[in-house]
Amino acid sequence: MAEENNKRKYVTLELEGVKYKTTLNKKFQNRKPYVPHDPSKIVAFIPGTIKKLYVRRGRKVEEGDRLLILEAMKMQNVILAPFDGKVKAIHVKKGQMISKGYVMIEME
């Protein structure tokens, strides 16, 4: 048992001023860092196929304007502009299959 402890890599973890000596598993070490939500990036909430684009780069849009249609599981989801702004970049094209979390449109 003592030999096993020598092979483990211990790290110091501090929580609320108290230091703990512990090991970290691979899942914890390989986790993706937290990234706060960026409202200017319109991301896919479900995997699907782009059926129609209503906007082009540089176009001004108002809150609630249609941006595109994302088809998933035979349902067509209309993606609307979350705020007034301008389309900075479009990262999808008609017929493209995308995964969940894919950045479809960037606004400014």
CATH number at residue 60: 2.40.50.100
Residue 79 in domain: yes
**Residue corresponding to tokens 């991301």:** 43
Type of residue found at 22: T
Q: Which residue, among 47, 48, 44, has the nearest Cα to 102 in the 3D structure? A: 44
Residue 67 in domain: yes
Residue 1 in domain: no
Specify the pTM: 0.69
**C-alpha span between 78 and 88 (Å, rounded):** 19
The whole domain housing 49 covers 41-107
Q: pLDDT tens across 5-48, in order?
A: 567 788 898 999 999 999 988 898 899 888 898 999 999 999 99
pLDDT at 3 over 60: no
pLDDT at 1 over 60: no
Q: pLDDT tens across 61-89, in order?
A: 999 999 999 999 999 999 999 999 999 99
Number of domains in the chain: 1
Residue 14 in domain: no
Residue 34 in domain: no
DSSP E strand stretches across 30-96: 41-43, 48-53, 60-61, 66-72, 75-80, 85-90
Using CA atoms, how far residue 27 sits from 23, 70, 86, in Å, is 12, 32, 39
Residue 23 in domain: no
